[in-house]
Amino acid sequence: MAESPDIDILARGELFRGVAVEVLREVQAVSFRRKFAAGETVYQQEDPVTTFYIIVVGRVRITQTTLDGQQVIIRYLGPGDVVGYAALTGAETHPGAATAVDDSHLLGMPAVTLREIMSRNARVAMNAVALMGERYRDLQIRLRELATEKVERRIAHTLLRLAQQAGRRTSRGVEIAFPLSRQDLAEMTGTTLHTVSRTLSGWEGRGLVNSGRRRVVIARPEALADAVEEV
């Protein structure tokens, strides 16, 4: 199974799951590793799509910025995740920006090569469709939350979701495993950092969370879920 670390990573990611080893070797042959320091940009919004990445280690944030500078965080990506889905769909430019939020290693390859491999290997293309479907579904849910829920509830759901996808169990509870400021949470939930701060302070007082500078620990996830459930 383990031919090389990179092939292993590819085989475990959602895009190359179940794909023949020869294809993986081909992919590996055209791919390269690249490091990004925390805060470094992988690509900017509207950049032409040249390269496609898979995260080996680290964490990447996808954002979208409006003309007047307001930012929205579309999602966070972690190990095994695809960065730059536009390379899959054949779009000309990146609809959002990608930034490393931790020191990260990405596996990159030319977008055209990937497309070419997809067109020759239906399984890869099918995986790509499934991948896009999952992301679409996630966005649908977030859209619904944003449209129907009040701020407190949105923040709670966002935290619980982050805990699920990037949570680290500690003695104090589940810690979100990457730096996450009040501003970041605000940009994920469509509110302001002030409101996020007030909300977290409230929960802190009730012993539900345990947060600090760019760090959030959910002390009792179930209790937090309950707290926002009861009308």
Partner DNA sequence: CGGCATCTTTGCGACTTAGCAAAAAAAACG
Partner DNA sequence: CGTTTTTTTTGCTAAGTCGCAAAGATGCCG
- Which residues are at the interface with a second copy (CB under 8 A)? 64, 66, 70, 72, 74, 85-86, 88-91, 95-96, 115, 118-123, 125-126, 128-130, 132-137, 139-144, 146-148, 187, 189-190
Which x/- pattern, by CB under 7 A, does the window 158-197 give for DNA?
-----------------------xxx------xxxxxx-x
Task: Tell me the three state secondary structure of residue 95.
Answer: coil
**Based on CB atoms, which residue is closest to a second copy, 145 or 204?**
145
**Residue 211 is a binding residue for DNA (CB under 7 A):** yes
Nearest distance in Å: CB 133, a second copy: 3
Q: Are 203 and 194 in contact (CB under 8 A)?
A: no
Contact of residue 91 among a second copy, DNA, none (CB under 5-8 Å per partner type):
a second copy
CB contact burial 175-212 (16+ within 10 A = b; e otherwise): bbbbebebebbbbbbebeeebbbebbeebeeeebbbbe
Choice between 59 and 157, CB closer to a second copy: 157
What b/e string do you get for 120-131 counting C-beta neighbours within 10 Å, with b at 16 or more? ebeebbebbeeb
Q: Which does 132 bind (CB under 5 to 8 A by kind): DNA, a second copy, none?
A: a second copy
Confirm if 149 and 157 have CB atoms less than 8 A apart: yes
Strand partners, 107: 33, 54
- Residue 215, SS3 per DSSP: strand
Please report how close the Cβ of residue 76 comes to a second copy at its closest, in angstroms.
15
Binding site partner of 152, from a second copy, DNA, none, Cβ cut-off 5-8 A by kind = DNA
Instruction: Report the candidate in 201, 225, 223 with the shortest Cα–Cα distance to residue 212.
Output: 201
Q: Which does 134 bind (CB under 5 to 8 A by kind): a second copy, DNA, none?
A: a second copy
Q: Which is nearer to a second copy, 1 or 22 (CB)?
A: 22
Which amino acid belongs to residue 172? R
Q: How many residues bind DNA (CB under 7 A)?
A: 21
Distances (CA, A) of 127 to 10, 90, 158, 209: 12, 15, 26, 37
Residues that bind DNA (CB under 7 A): 150-152, 181-183, 190-195, 197-198, 200-201, 204, 211-214
